[in-house]
């Protein structure tokens, strides 16, 4: 899927939604600073929602990695 990401994207300090639940992140520690809501993204889970827009991601988990793609923002970068 082609990225059309004019908005701030994941990994560039612009995350505005929790990748675990998709809700907008509250500012400050435990929210935007942490990159996800408290307890929302278990350590062994890939992101489920786009950090830029909160849409559900298409996630492919393979034995050695994962790929997550937003219909609007394209693939999440490896620095997520």
4 lies in the binding site for another protein (CB under 8 A): no
Distance CA 55, CA 46 (A): 14
Distance CA 16, CA 2 (A): 21
Distance CA 32, CA 44 (A): 20
Q: Which of 21, 31, 34, 53 binds another protein (CB under 8 A)?
A: 21
Shortest Cβ 28–another protein spacing (Å): 23
Write the binding mask 28 to 67 for another protein: x where contact by CB under 8 A, - elsewhere.
--------------x-xxx-xx------xxxxxxxxxxx-
Phi, psi (5° rounding) for residue 30? 80, 0
By CB under 8 A, name the binding residues for another protein: 20-22, 42, 44-46, 48-49, 56-66
């Amino acid at each position: 899927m082609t990225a059309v990401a004019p908005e701030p994207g994941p990994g560039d300090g612009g995350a505005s939604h929790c990748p675990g639940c998709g809700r907008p992140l509250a500012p400050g520690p435990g929210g935007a600073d942490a990159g996800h809501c408290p307890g929302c993204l278990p350590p062994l889970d890939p992101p489920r929602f786009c950090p830029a827009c909160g849409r559900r991601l298409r996630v492919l988990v393979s034995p050695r990695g994962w790929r997550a793609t937003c219909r609007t923002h394209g693939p999440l970068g490896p620095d997520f």
